[in-house]
Every structure is written in structure tokens, then in C-alpha cells.
Amino acid sequence: MASPVRRGAARRDELSDALVELLLAEGFAQFTLDDVAARLRCSKRTLYGLADSKEQLVTAAVVRFFRSATARVEAAVATRTDPADRLAAYLRAVSSELAPASAVFFEDVASFAPAAGIYQRNTRAAARRVREIIDEGVASGDFGGVHVAFAAEVAASTMEAIQQRRIAATTGLADAEAYEQLATLLVRGLRS
């Protein structure tokens, strides 16, 4: 039988996961804590057990989303050895992780400085990871059809443009779709 502490931790994890799902689907700007509590079928007091304010609750949920997504993305890459497969797997896993997030979620993230900062830090880390994979491909001789430093910079700039909502505004592509297109473009270009 689980101890009360373990049950409490399990309940907090379950509630945090449900909060992430809710925010991904519907955003967060329009919600009050009362709304969130009603949607998650818990008390405001329970929510205050997760964070001291709506802003902190949102921030914690965004951190949780990106932390979990990063772990799953890295797991997808870990099974690959070919640099092109690793690059494609990485960017397609990012696409897959972003797919459940609605446009309103991304708009709310962009409008809320703490969440925008979290997305920006994660995007920068992802761009560094893409550069590492490209460097691996250069070192192994698998990449070389284009100027690889330029390709890495294009990837980083595009990822930043996705995060800053410029790609969505100019192309109509959702963030997940943009990452899928970036994967196709980079892998084809680097392998030619």
C-alpha cells in the first residue's frame, strides 16, 4: 500500500500532467485559477499546493512540458547512429512533441514573458543540439553537400523564428509543421 506521501506526490504529478494537457489544448490567458480548478476537478487550495499564483502555475506547467518533451526527443535520437537519421529523428521528435500544442497556447506563451523565456531557452538548447548533430555528420563525412556552418545557422535562425511566431505569421504553419519542414529541408540539403 502506498504511503500518504507517495499518494500525494502521485496526485501532484497527475494534476500537473492534466494541467499541461489543458494548457496545451486551450492556452492559459483566458483562465482564472477558479476556471483551472473547475476544469481539473480540484480545489484552488490544491492548485496553491502546486504554485502560489496563476503565473507560477503556468510557468511550472510550461517548464514541465518542455522538460518532458526534451527527454522524449533525446530518447528518439539515442536509438539512431546515422547522422542524417539522428537529425531527422531529432527535428521530427520536436515536431511530434509540439503537435498537441494549440495555436492559442503558443500565442499565450508569446504574450507571457516567463513562458516566452522558457520556450526561447529550450529553442536555443535545441538549436545547439542540431548543430552538434550536424557537426557529427561533418566529422563522419556524411554531411558536406552544403556549407555546414551555414546550414547550422539556418537551422538555428529558423528555430528561433518558429519560437517567436514569425514562421506561423508568414507561412501559416503550426510550430510542429514547421519543424517537420525544417527536418526535410536540412536532411536533403546536408546529404546532397
Cα 51 to chain centroid distance, Å, stands at 21
Q: How many CA atoms lie within 13 A of 22 on its CB side?
A: 22
pTM for this model (two decimals) = 0.88
* Structural domain of 144: 4-191
- Amino acid letter, 109: V
Q: Which run of H or E residues covers position 176?
A: helix 175-191
CB 94 within 8 A of CB 119: no
Q: What is the CATH number of the domain that holds 52?
A: 1.10.357.10
| H-helix segments, 43-174 | 44-50, 54-78, 83-98, 103-111, 113-140, 148-163, 166-171
Q: pLDDT tens per residue, the chain (192 residues)?
A: 556 556 667 888 999 999 999 999 999 999 999 999 999 999 999 999 899 999 999 999 999 999 999 999 999 999 999 999 999 999 999 999 999 999 999 999 999 999 999 999 999 999 999 999 998 898 888 887 678 788 889 999 999 999 999 999 999 999 999 999 999 999 888 876
- DSSP state at residue 2: -
Give the count of domains, the chain.
1
**Which cell is 41 given?**
476537478
Output the nine-digit C-alpha cell for 98: 509540439
What is the C-alpha separation between 166 and 29, in angstroms, rounded?
A: 20
